A and B are shown apart, each in its own frame.
Chain A
Amino acid sequence: MKLDEIKEFLSGYDGPEINIMEVCGSHTGAIAKNGIPGMLSDKIHLLSGPGCPVCVTPSSYVDRLIELSLTPGTVVATFGDLIRVPGSERSLSEAKGEGARVIMLYSPLDILALAEKEPQTTFVFAAVGFETTTPVYALLMDQLVSRGVNNVKLLTAIKTMPEVIDYLMANGAEISGFLAPGHVSVVTGADAFKPLADKYQMPFAVAGFKGTELLVALAGLVKQIGCPKVMNFYPQVVTASGNQKALALIDRYFEPVDAVWRGLGTVAGSGRVLRAEFSRFDAGSAALSEDVKVNKACCCDRVLMGRMKPTECPLFGKVCTPIKPQGACMVSTEGSCHSWFVNHRT
C-alpha cells in the first residue's frame, strides 16, 4: 500500500471499535509529535501502556535512593528523568535542596571514572529501565568485576516487557493489538512477542519511530486484528531473535524476579536483579516492594492498564501537571500523561 492509501485506510476504517496499545514511551511521544491521533478513524483508539520505565518504578525505590543520597560518603547517580519523580514524600530533586548528593549521568559507564577518582565514596547508580537499558548495566557490571571496582553499587528497578503485557491481558485489559516497542525489540528480538500473540490471539507490530513507520505499523495491526501474528515493521534494526550477545551478558549478571510496578502491583517474573554471586554490588534493591500513592485520587494504575485515558483522570491538568506531577505518568517526558498534557490530546 502507498502512504496515501494507508492514510485513507486508517481514517476511513469503519469496522468494530479497536484499542491499540503502545508500550514504549518513545512511541507515545512520536505518535503525538506526528499528530497521528487526529489521522485515525474514531473507531481506532490509541492507548498508552506501561512503556516508561521511570513511570513504573515504585515509590519505595525513590525513597531508598533519597535515603542513600543523604547518607554520608554516598553519591547517587541517575539518568535525568528520575530526578523529579515523587517518592512517598518527596523527589530526589527536593532532597537535593537538603544536601543530598545526586549527580546526573548520560551513561552508566561514566560512573567508573568518578569511582576511581574518589575511592572513599560509594557511588550508587539508579539502574532503572527495560530490556533496552539492561545491557548497559550488564556492561557496567562487567567493568566493575574485571577492574575490581568496589565502590560502585546498583539500585535496580529493571523490568521486562513481555511479562507485563501478559499481566495486562490476563487482568482483563481490553486491547486488540500492540505496537511492540522498537528499542526493546532490538534486544529481545521480535519473536519474544510470539507466545503472547498466540496466547491472546492478537497481532503485535514492531514499529520504528518515524511518522510513516508508525502509520504503516498501525495499518498492519488494524488489518490483522484477531490474528496471532508478529509483524516486524522495523527490520532495519530488529531481527527475529534479537541481540544474542546482549542477552547473554544480561543473563550472566541478572536473574528474573517478581517485580513491583508502580500502580499495578507485583507482576510475576517481570524484573531482573543481580544474581546472588554479585549481590555485593546491590544497594538494597530486593526490599523495595512498597508503593504508596502520592495522591489518593491518582489514576496512573488505570492509565497504565489502558482502562482510562490520561484526560479522564480527575487530577489531570488540574492538580497534576508537568510542573507539579502527582503521579509518575506526568513526570517523565516519556510518560503518557505528560505526553497527552503537552500535546493537548483529548
Chain B
Amino acid sequence: MDERKITMVHGSGGSATSELINEIFAREYADRTLDEMEDAAVVPGAGTLAMTTDSFVVTPLQFRGGDIGRLCVCGTVNDLLMRGAIPKYLTCGFILEEGLSVETLKQLVHSMAETAREAGIRVVAGDTKVIEGNGGLYINTAGVGFIPDGVDIRAEKAAVGDAILVSGTLGDHHAAILSERMEIETDIESDAAPLRQMVDSLISSGLPIHSFRDVTRGGLGTVLKELAVASGKVFEIEEEKIPVTAKVQDFCGLLGLDPIYMGNEGKMVVILPAEYANQALEIMKSCRYGENAVQIGTVLAAAAGESAAGGESYNAGGELICKTAIGGRRRLDVLQGEGLPRIC
C-alpha cells in the first residue's frame, strides 16, 4: 500500500517527474519503443491507417467491472476496430490532480497496461501533467490501426434486407456508474471491454460486413439513428429482442431511465446481409464478451405513402422505428438534451 499523494512537483519535468514515470508508467507499459524514452515514437507503418482519439473524465475512477484505466484503452481500441482496423499503437496523456493517491494511480496504470495487452495494442508514447485540484485524474488516448486490404466498413453501407445484430446486454456500464454515484447498492458491473477478438473473428471469417458501431454514449437509440441517417434507410428494431439484464431493467425502472439510451463500453452493433446473420451470431457468441449476441432488427427500404393508424407515417429514409412489446410503434431519435451525468 503506497501512502503517497501526487503533488505539483511530480509535474515539474525534473527528477520527481522521471521518478514517477519510471516507477509507475514505464514499468507497466514496458515496450521496446516506449522504453527508448525519445521525444517521439518511431514505428513501422502500413498502407491505410485508422486514427482516433478520446478523452476520459469519468468519476468515480474505479467502479464495479472496471476503472478509467481499462476504459481509456477500450474506448480508443473499439473505435479503431469499428472501421475494421487492426489496433497497433496507443498514446496516452495523463492529467493528474494534486492530491491523487499514488496507490490509486498505480492500480489504474496497471489496469490500463493489462487491458492494452488483452486488446493487442502497444502503448508507444505518453505524457504526464499535474494540475491543482482535488485528487482527480483525466486521460486522453489516441490510437492508430492498420486497415487490411479489401476491408471497407462504413456507416452508410447498411443496405435493404440487412440484419441488425447487437453483441450483448445494454445499459450495464451506465447503470454501474450511476449506482456508484448515487450510492445505490447493486451488483451491476460495467461491461468495459476491448472487442478485438470479436471484430478480428468477424473480419477473418470473410462475411460481407457492412457496418460496425460501438454502442457508447447516447446508447443504442442514438447509434442506430445515426446509422439510419447515414445510410438513408429505415431501421426497424423489436423492443422485446433488445437484450437487457433483469438487474439493469429494475435499476432503470427505479430511476425512470431507458436502456435504449444508456451508454456501454463493450458492446457493438453489426450490420450485414440477413442471410449471413446466423453465421455472424455464431462467431460473436463464441467470442469473449459476445455470449448474449442477438439479432434485434432489420434494415428496410425508405418508402413513402404507407401509414399506421392515427395517420403517422413511419417509413421515410433515416428513420429508426421500434416495435414495442404491446404491438405499438415508436419512432426513436438520437438522445436529446444532456440526459445523464458523464460516464466515460
Task: Identify the A interface with B (CB < 8 A).
Answer: 3, 7, 11, 26, 29, 32-42, 84, 106, 211-212, 215, 321-323, 333, 338, 341-346
Q: Which chain A positions have C-beta within 8 A of B330?
A: 32-35, 343
State whether the Cβ of B329 lies closer than 8 Å to any Cβ in chain A.
yes
Please state if A11 and B309 are interface contacts (CB–CB under 8 Å): yes
CB neighbours (8 Å) of A11 from chain B are 309
**Do B333 and A344 touch across chains, with their CB atoms under 8 A apart?**
yes
Q: Does B310 contact A (CB under 8 A)?
A: yes
Asked if B337 and A42 sit within 8 Å, CB to CB, the answer is no
The complex places the Cα of A244 from the Cα of B309 at a distance, in Å, of: 43
Q: How far is the CB of A233 from chain B (nearest CB, A)?
A: 15
Pick from B258, B324, B331, B337: contact of A322, CB below 8 A.
Answer: B337
Cα distance A338–B310 in the bound complex, in angstroms: 20
Q: How far is the CA of A34 from the CA of B329 in the complex (A)?
A: 7
- Measured between alpha carbons, how far is A106 from B183 in the docked complex, in Å? 11
A106 pairs with B182, CB closer than 8 A: yes
Q: How far is the CB of A129 from chain B (nearest CB, A)?
A: 15
Q: A7-B327, A323-B337, A344-B312 are in contact. List 9 more A-B contacts (CB 8 A).
A: A34-B325, A34-B328, A35-B324, A35-B329, A37-B328, A39-B327, A42-B309, A42-B310, A323-B336
Of residues 305 through 344 on chain B, the ones whose CB sits less than 8 Å from some CB of chain A are: 308-312, 322-333, 336-337
Of chain A, the residue at the smallest CB distance from B256 is A26
Bound complex: CA A321 to CA B337 (Å): 9
Q: List the A side residues contacting B328 at CB < 8 Å.
A: 34-39, 211
Tell me if B's interface is mostly helix, strand, loop or mixed. Answer: loop
Residues of B within 8 A of A39 (CB): 309-310, 326-328
Cβ 8 A contact of A35, one of B182, B322, B336, B337? B322
CA–CA, A346 to B332, complex, Å?
Answer: 14
Contacts of A7 in B (CB 8 A): 326-327
A346 touches B256 (CB 8 A): no
Please determine whether B326 and A34 come into contact, CB atoms closer than 8 angstroms: yes
Which residues of B sit under 8 angstroms from A26, Cβ to Cβ?
Answer: 256
Q: What are the residues of chain B within 8 A of A343 when measuring CB–CB?
A: 330-333
CA of A338 to CA of B332 in the docked complex: distance in angstroms? 13
CB distance from A90 to the nearest CB of B (A): 17
Contact indicator per residue, chain B 246-258, by CB within 8 Å of chain A (1) or not (0): 0000000000101
How far, in whole Å, are A7 and B309 apart by their CA atoms in the complex?
Answer: 12
Which residues on the B side are within 8 Å of A35 (C-beta)? 322-324, 326-330
List residues of chain A with CB within 8 A of the CB of B312. 37-38, 344-346
Assess the B333–A42 pair: CB atoms within 8 A.
no
Residues from chain A with a CB closer than 8 A to the CB of B336 are 321-323, 338, 341-342
Could you tell me if A38 and B309 are in contact, using CB atoms closer than 8 angstroms? yes
B266 to chain A, nearest CB (A): 26
Q: Which of A32, A34, A37, A342 contacts B310 (CB 8 A)?
A: A37
Please measure, in the bound complex, the distance between the C-alpha atom of A186 and the C-alpha atom of B182, giving whole angstroms.
25
B252 to chain A, nearest CB (A): 12
A40 to B311, CA, bound (A): 10
Distance A26 CA – B154 CA, assembled complex (angstroms): 38
Which A residues lie within 8 Å of B322 (CB)? 35
